[in-house]
Each structure stands twice: as C-alpha cells, then as structure tokens.
Amino acid sequence: MATFFQSVRQGFGRGGNNKNNPPKSPVQAQAPAMPNSHSLSNSLTIDNIAANDPDAPKYFFQEKYAPLNVRGNFLTLCACPKNVELGEWLAHQIVEQYRLLHGMLQVIQEVNSVNGFPICNEQTCPTMSAGRLTYTWLVDGRAAKISAPKFINRVEKWIVSKIHDPVMFPTENVTGIPETSSTRDAAGVASGTPATPADSTNPSADDWIGKSSGFPQTFYKDCQGIMKQMFRCYAHLYHAHWLNPFWHINKHDILNMCFVHFVTVAKYYQLVSDKEMEPMQPLIDLFIKQQRVPPEALNGGHWAQQTTN
C-alpha cells in the first residue's frame, strides 16, 4: 500500500519524458489519434467535450476498462482498530479520503500550456454534472447551477475549513458539549439543498460518536456531509474526465483505487447513502462483484460488527 499512496502524492501529468506510448483509446474511432506524450498539456480539447456528453459511452462501467492494480481490498485500512476511539478514527478517515481525492482533482486542475485553461474549465464543464445528473449549490438561499470548477473549488474550501475547525476536528480534549456551525450547513450549504439540522438526535443524549475525544455531537453527521460532497467530486471525475485525462495518461487505475477505498469507507460506516451513490452504481456493483469492496463493508459493516460483538 505504501507504493500506492506514494504514487498518489506524486504529481500526475508531468510524464513528458516518458517514452512509452499511451494506451489505445476506447473511442479511437470517434477521436483523433493520441499524441505520444503523456503530459496533460497535450490533452485533446475534443475529448473534454465528448467526455462531458451525458450520452457518451460509459467505458468506466465496463470491467475491461476498470483495472485495479492492488491485491485484496481496503478493509484493513478501513476498519477501526480496537484500541482507537471511533471519533478519532473517523476523523483520520475523513482527512485521508480528502487527501486522496485532492490528488485526483489536481489532475483536472492542471493548466494546459497551450490554451492556458485547466482540463476542467467553464467551457468544458459549465455545470457540476455526473452524466444526466446535475448538482447544485446554494446561492443566496436558492439552489443554483454553477460550473464544475467553481463547485469543486467551493467544496474543497468547505472541507478544508471543516478539517481545520478546532471544534469539529479537535486536536485537544475539550469539556462540555461543543457547538459547531456544521449543525446549520453540513447538509445544506454545501449540498445545494435548504439547510437543515445536521443532527436530529436529542441534544441531551448522554453519548455520541467521538464524545470521549472532544468531538461535537454533530460529528457523525458532519462526516456524512463531507463524504457526500467528496462522492460528487468523484462522480464528476468519472463522468466528465475519465477519458481525458485519466485514460489518456494511464492513471485510470489510480482513480479506481482511490474510489474503491472511498466506497469501502463510505459503506462500512454508512457515510454516503445508496441513493447518493446511484450515478456510480454500475462501477460500485462491479467492484462488489470482484470483492474489491468487501462483503464486510456492505450494509454498514462496522455497525453490524458492533451488534454481533
């Protein structure tokens, strides 16, 4: 696994000196021949447009185009160790999942040296879409369609603000019941839906996930809100950018590994609903069939294990 994480940390799209030819494009009949360089600066604009077409073939849903160059599954990196408090572990998982997603987002944010635009820009991605589904953002109290780069930028800033919030992600033990603004916006402002309370449990409840480590009572709902927005970024990466750049630079397998890891965590701790995952369900079903997403993670594996024990 160390090699995998090391490869994610290293920059993508800087392989201009790579003498190997890129893989044959599955849509070679519809697109011009690919250049020999793996550099993102040489990516074809026509592929951006085709990839963002909701009617374009979804090659990433096919097993032959969905390799995963890692043995086993990510359950060992997902399951909470017995000697670690669950709130601390979920905080670690959130930070780690954002780190991996950020590495994937950097790929589409690299600026094309020819036209001066990133691969994901206002022209190629005027909305935050995943196939025929469009995600909206709450603007002045109303759900509004904004471009994918703006949506992703706001999601990243929102997640970083949450992670660095000493109330939501405390680094020191605190006393009492902390209050956090995420109660108002975790499920509303970032999701593009009317703001609703992030935790409907009784505020006088004696226990909650992360209490002993100083996490607020809304912590679990906060994690669900963050993971939901990260999933939407993954959905856009696949539906709009799987071909260009990930397939063209032969990094689609890295994208798959990050996504499988994400889905395993999301399902094991029930952090993203099945309905939210529908835009990527065919690929998730494929990974479940291959047991890349292990059976132990399905239907809330952590909670099932706690009930059994």
Question: Which tens digits make up the pLDDT trace of 40-97?
Answer: 333 333 344 445 677 778 999 999 998 887 777 899 899 999 899 999 999 999 999 9
- Note whether residue 15 is domain-resident: no
Computed over every residue of the chain, the mean pLDDT equals: 76
Residue 64 lies in a domain: yes
Q: What is the mean pLDDT of residues 182-207?
A: 39
- What domain range includes position 72? 39-308
How much is the average pLDDT of 184-207? 40
Q: Determine the pLDDT at residue 23.
A: 43
Residue 175: C-alpha distances to residues 36, 78, 87, 149, 171 (Å): 59, 28, 15, 40, 13
Residue 26 lies in a domain: no
Cβ count near 35 (within 10 Å): 14
- Joined together, the tokens standing for residue 110 give 């690299």
The pLDDT value recorded for residue 33 is: 34
Instruction: Decide if 131 is inside a domain.
Output: yes
In this predicted structure, the answer to whether residue 235 has a pLDDT above a threshold of 80 is yes
Evaluate whether residue 16 is within a structural domain.
Answer: no
Dihedral sign for Cα 120, 122, 123, 126, please: positive
19 belongs to a structural domain = no
What pLDDT does 193 receive? 34
Closest CA to 161 of 88, 225, 84, 85: 225
125 marked as part of a ligand binding site: yes
- The answer to whether the bond into 245 is cis (omega within 30° of 0) is yes
The reply to whether 46 falls in a domain is: yes
Question: For position 57, what pLDDT does the model report?
Answer: 80
Residue 132: inside a domain, yes or no?
yes
Q: What gap in Å lies between CA 252 and CA 241, rounded to an integer? A: 10
Q: What is the pTM of this model?
A: 0.75
Instruction: Kindly state the percentage of the chain with pLDDT values over 70.
Output: 69
- CATH number, position 237: 1.20.140.30
Count of domains forming the chain: 1
- Residue 258 annotated as lining a ligand binding site: no
pLDDT at position 198 over 60: no
Query: Quick one: which H or E segment has residue 223?
Result: helix 219-241
> At residue 202, what is the residue type?
N
Confidence tier at 17 by pLDDT (50, 70, 90): very low
Instruction: Confirm if 100 and 229 have CB atoms less than 8 A apart.
Output: no
